[in-house]
Structure 1
Amino acid sequence: MKLQFLGAAGTVTGSKYLVETDNRKILVDCGLYQGVKHYRLMNRQPLPVSYDELDAIVLTHAHLDHSGYLPLLVKEGFTGPVYATPGTCELCKILLPDSGFLQEEDARHAAKHGYSKHNPPHPLYTEQDALRALKQLKPCSFGQIHKILPDLSIRFRPAGHILGAASIEVFDGSHMLAFSGDVGRPDDLIMYPPESLKRADYLVVESTYGDRIHEEMDAAEAMAKAINETAAAGGTVLIPAFAVGRAQMILHLLERLRAENRIPKLPVYLNSPMAIKATEVFHRFHEKHRLTKDDCRKIDSMTHYVRTVEESMALANQTFPGIIVSASGMASGGRVLHHLKHILPNHRNTVMFVGYQAMGTRGEKLVSGATSIKIHGQNIPVKARIKHFDAFSAHADSSQIIQWLGSIKTPPKQVFVTHGETEAAQAMAEKIQIELGWKTCIPKLTDKAELQ
């Protein structure tokens, strides 16, 4: 087998790994670059491998930095199968068309207000491109061996993180190449712990939190304090949250805090069509996570689901205290941007980030103390209070990844550390070498490795 790194090398986004056996080629993950402009522009660069050379694509999970490039490959002509777990397939049916729609919407907005350098602005792909891509999804159950090519089999193992997320074992008859995907936390509020791998001759592991340990804090109490302070000031709490996983976790936590009278019964709004649909999928797949049917019912009864553009505009203009959960989690796009334009200039309000903020994103700039932020071509002053709670992250920290790696019965000959900023990947690689004694390397973009 040969392995080439076509994304998530030196960064936490754009995951793509090319696996080659004799005359066969598959892509493990097909992620979109997100965040700073430098990375977003890479989405428009051609891959070193043509769509007609690929026999199949395998997805670890549905987050766009792992699946969001798929509609572009299909637009270019890829017609092969895309293998993923049932949960991932269901979430891709939500995320991918929404991604295409938002790109079209952003292009229209840029054209109307003239803040794009392109004339006319055009989306990377459309909603229709994404809908065509969905027809190529092939659901595969966890734990079973699936023969996808004459000389190649795969197996999905639960990785925690979000619904449907998996670590993937790729077997060519002699080598076992494993991909961690995004590893979840053993103590996650809604997802079960990641399942350990039995064997990995070679391993690609993520390092999002490779240089950090999650805060030892009562995250629920910290959230309650921020909400109570904002409500007393007559302000609104805005929680940018990833539509899949994080939004559902936050709604569950808000419901618990209200039920325990730890926060006032302020109106709670979920303003993200994608997050609303994802919440419905979480409810249907309740046996795959910790939330019971009753938990899901309580979330529904508490939450005002904002579905239409008109409802969203009215909500953005409201001035009475409330809690708004909206995507995206790094404030890189979506309806949350319209809320930020109204909420940031008012000192009574609070913007509460509840997860990882990638370098260069609006979220990262805000939590780093920016006094103004550019949204839709306008400089918006930052007077609202900015809170950042990493304790809600769905990624395992460095110690939790070491714990997960240490459960592999047959240690790998080589570990490739990816999906992390430079410092995080270096720290993760060193920690693996010191604590486990395994050989590691940090590949650069387009690097190739021959698996002996």
Structure 2
Amino acid sequence: MPDGSRAAALRAARRASVPYRTSPWPGRLHVTAHHPAHADPLLTFLGGARYLLAADTTLLIGCGLVEGPETAWRRNFSPGPDELHAADAVILPSADLGHAGFLPQLVAEGWHGPVFATPATAALLPVVLSDAAKQFAEDAAQVCPPPPGVPPFRAEDVTCALALVRPVEVGSLHRVGGVEFEFGRAGGRVGAAWVRVRAGGRSVVFAGPLGAAEHPLLRAPDPRPRSDVLVLAAPEPPADGHLAGRFAAAVHRAVRRGGSVVVPVAVDGGVELLRALTGQLPPLPVVLDGDLGLEVHRQATAELRRGARVPAPELLREPPDGPSIILAGLATADSGRVLRHLARLLPDRRNGVVLLGHPAPGTRAAQLADGARHLKVHGRYVPVRAEVTALGGTAAFAGPEEVLAWATATPAPETAFVVEGEPESAQALAKALHAEADWCAVVPEEGERVLC
């Protein structure tokens, strides 16, 4: 744990290096200030997958990195908003960087307290956060002159953060201070969970991206519990039913040209996609740049749907001389080892890039999906000559109809807040909840506070 002087120096250095307010909402104070005991809980939407619930005890649900265009991404290199430091405890819905990636920086800035996660998430965090720290350090070393500010976190910050993590079993009720919470399986990612919090006689459910009912490996999400308030992540648009075939076709085209294919991937490493494509892909070496994919699937045993098998393709650590499939993070292509592969492969027309899911607007992945002719990588512009195939889905996460069915299978909450995802998807789900189920469904603004 960094001592007070180091934490203060770190915060001062980061403020000096990147001009960004401690709080992005002028005039806002710690939400716990003057919050009377036993009053209705106060919920603050802090942007991305970060929600502060202030009651007798104040919880931060989600502590992720901010995704989006460069102006949003640079917020990860700045001191965290003061509201984050008001938390008595942190609850991590998953090990994904969008839910957990800001935790080491928060700890480096001086925060300390318990961090709760499912056992599978707790087991993945050391690999996810350590790998991310290495990626950030590698990125900084590639750029000349170096980027302003310091990386979001370093290896020593990860060590301090991991010391605070406490596993909590799915389905068990856990008390922290004056509130209770429980995890339920969310699906989609190993260890991912929805969270129900009970405070001051009220209950709030936080549900991030839900897994598809027919996920190739993992069990479906647990049913939504009753609650007074629901905070629900917007779904990604429906996956193309021919996704696997389109992926395989893109690989075959690159092989015929004598090229390789690079796939920006998230924490799961993309290994499950290769399992789904067994028999459709040409016999190519698979390069997994990082340990995440393998570790995710080592931890998957407890969450596998009955009869599913964990894939074990032969994986390499470095690209061979000939064509190959390269899986590397981050999925947004805004940081990480995927950048060096893009810089090498994009200028050559023989190669290909396959984009999974729906990248956040403004990210490098989104620029490629939108037909960018050049991409800025490590301070230099790289021409985009490789074939780019945007699949527009992964089939791992629930689409709009599945999310709507999951939410409405349980009696309506007083209010549902649709968060995360693309603005269009959030508005569409809110309208559907209102039109089809007569719910009070709201898309909150960043920084907005509401009583629960």
Bucket of the pairwise TM-score, normalised by the shorter protein: 0.7 to 0.9
Partner of 2:169: 141
Conserved? CA contact 1:239–1:351, under 8 Å: yes
Q: Label 1:441 to 1:76 Cα distance change in 2 as closer, same or farther (>3 A).
A: same
1:403-414 matches, cutoff 5 A = 403-408=405-410, 410-414=411-415
Partner of 2:292: 274
Partner of 1:247: 270
- What CA distance in whole angstroms lies between the structure 1 residues aligned with 2:188 and 2:110? 31
Q: CA RMSD in A?
A: 1.9
- Residue 63 of structure 1: how far off its partner (Å): 0.7
Secondary structure of residue in 2 paired with 1:91: helix
- What CA distance in whole angstroms lies between the structure 1 residues aligned with 2:82 and 2:421? 22
Cα offsets for 1:158-186 (capped at 9, x unmatched): 00010000010001252111001221111
- Residue 84 of structure 1: how far off its partner (Å): 0.6
Poorly superposed stretches of 4+, deviation over 4 Å: none
Partner of 2:8: none
Q: Which segment drifts farther, 330-339 or 266-275?
A: 266-275
- Residue 367 of structure 1: how far off its partner (Å): 1.0
Secondary structure of residue in 1 paired with 2:418: strand
1:214 pairs with one of 236, 239, 259: 239
Q: Which segment drifts farther, 386-395 or 349-358?
A: 386-395
Higher relative contact order (CA 8 A, sep 6+): 1
Conserved? CA contact 2:138–2:336, under 8 Å: no
- Residue 103 of structure 1: how far off its partner (Å): 2.1
Q: Is 1:286 equivalent to 2:305 in the alignment?
A: no
Q: Is 1:174 equivalent to 2:224 in the alignment?
A: no
Q: Label 1:228 to 1:104 Cα distance change in 2 as closer, same or farther (>3 A).
A: closer
- TM-score, length-scaled by structure 1: 0.86
Question: Counterpart amino acid of 2:304?
Answer: H
Partner of 1:95: 128
1:112-191 matches, cutoff 5 A = 113-114=144-145, 116=147, 118=148, 121-149=149-177, 151-172=178-199, 174-191=201-218
- Residue 319 of structure 1: how far off its partner (Å): 4.7
- Residue 329 of structure 1: how far off its partner (Å): 1.5
Conserved? CA contact 1:158–1:165, under 8 Å: yes
Partner of 2:377: 375
Q: How many residues align structurally?
A: 411
Question: Counterpart amino acid of 2:437?
Answer: L
Q: Is 1:82 equivalent to 2:110 in the alignment?
A: no
- TM-score, length-scaled by structure 2: 0.86
Conserved? CA contact 1:235–1:320, under 8 Å: yes
Q: Label 1:20 to 1:375 Cα distance change in 2 as closer, same or farther (>3 A).
A: same
- Residue 369 of structure 1: how far off its partner (Å): 0.6
Q: Is 1:200 equivalent to 2:192 in the alignment?
A: no
Q: Is 1:49 equivalent to 2:83 in the alignment?
A: yes
The structure with more helix, counted as a fraction of residues = 1
Partner of 1:303: 314
- Residue 196 of structure 1: how far off its partner (Å): 1.1
1:412-451 matches, cutoff 5 A = 412-451=413-452
Conserved? CA contact 1:356–1:393, under 8 Å: no
Partner of 1:225: 249
Partner of 1:40: 73
Partner of 1:11: none
Partner of 2:365: 363
Secondary structure of residue in 2 paired with 1:138: strand
1:333-372 matches, cutoff 5 A = 333-372=335-374
Equivalent pairs: percent with the same residue? 30
Conserved? CA contact 1:235–1:319, under 8 Å: no
Secondary structure of residue in 2 paired with 1:33: coil
Question: Counterpart amino acid of 1:422?
Answer: P
